[in-house]
Amino acid sequence: MVAFPIDKQVLSDRTFEAITALIYEAIGLSLNASKKSLVASRLGPRIQRLGLGGFDDYLALLRDEAEAAEFQMAVDLLTTNETYFFREPAHYQVLEQELASRSNKNAPLAVWSAASSFGDEAYSTAMLLADLQQAGRIGADWHILGTDISHRVLLAAKEAVYPEDRLRNVSPERLRRYCLRGEGPAQGQAMIQARLRERVRFGQLNLCKPFSGIGPFDVVFLRNVLIYFDAETKRQVVDRVVATLRPGGLFFLGTAEGRVPAEVPLTVIVPGAFRKPSKV
């Protein structure tokens, strides 16, 4: 396969529609015909860097489920990225403080990232918990569940390969401990190390429908997903999710989402961080 100059690459209507359909199916992002030139300009340099023959070859790559990391790279190139490691760092500070103050530091710890997307949130939490374990502030019995409605983003989450910019809020020490940097065609990407990936499992789940068989959890993240739902659906989703929390458990929403009505009264710790009552 021979690469050709970027100015010679042509994105046909058919290939544009196929690429945008994949993106829409995975993350719900709609790119209409007016975005064709944007798609071409964002993906063209990536195609050239990979040494591919053009947009049709890149489409074939995106359709290959074994290339989940490349699909994620395409999503990042086509969006104003709002998914990244240690987003809303105040929440991780609250989590660290709350866990370190538990009376039984060796008690099992279960965390749920309920709208995990590509896994940034789940692996950020895993880095924090691994650090706390190493410092003797929590025990070794902890695990994280990440769920999402999109099969394709879950494949990428399991692969755990990320554009380096997504890890811009990860400290150099954590990057050394928990990440492997790519070389060659993988330059500009980083993989989460196996010892951390083993702590996180992913599964498909639709929050808008009743579910069972998961939990109970000590910590639940439900951040930056409720904005897609109407008021009644928000209430139903929050009630379902909070029901999986143990009494006294921690519940996190996106800071900009405010406070969503819930059947169980929640105590505010900081904006977006709540505690479920110890007795319900």
To the question of whether residue 244 is assigned a binding role by annotation, the answer is: no
To the question of whether residue 79 is assigned a binding role by annotation, the answer is: no
Cα of first residue to Cα of last residue in the chain, in angstroms, is: 63
State how far the Cα of 197 lies from the Cα of 158, in Å rounded to an integer.
Answer: 8
Q: Please identify which of the residues 42, 181, 201, 246 carries the catalytic annotation.
A: 42
To the question of whether residue 106 is assigned a binding role by annotation, the answer is: no
Q: Please identify which of the residues 148, 197, 199, 240 carries the catalytic annotation.
A: 148
Whether residue 216 is preceded by a cis peptide bond, meaning omega within 30 degrees of 0, is: yes
To the question of whether residue 87 is assigned a binding role by annotation, the answer is: yes
User: Taking Cα atoms as reference points, which of 183, 184, 188 lies closest to residue 168?
Assistant: 188
To the question of whether residue 81 is assigned a binding role by annotation, the answer is: yes
Does the annotation count 42 as an active-site position?
yes
Q: For the chain, how many residues are written?
A: 280
Q: CA angle 190-159-220, nearest 5°?
A: 95
To the question of whether residue 83 is assigned a binding role by annotation, the answer is: yes
Does the annotation count 195 as an active-site position?
no
To the question of whether residue 62 is assigned a binding role by annotation, the answer is: no
State the maximum Cα–Cα separation within the chain, in Å, rounded to a whole number.
Answer: 66
To the question of whether residue 121 is assigned a binding role by annotation, the answer is: yes
State how far the Cα of 140 lies from the Cα of 133, in Å rounded to an integer.
Answer: 6
Count the neighbouring beta carbons within 10 Å of the beta carbon of residue 234.
19
What phi and psi values does residue 271 have, to the nearest 5 degrees?
-50, 125
Binding residues: 81, 83, 87, 121, 148, 206-207, 223-224
Binding residues for S-adenosyl-L-methionine: 81, 83, 87, 121, 148, 206-207, 223-224
The set of catalytic residues is 42, 148
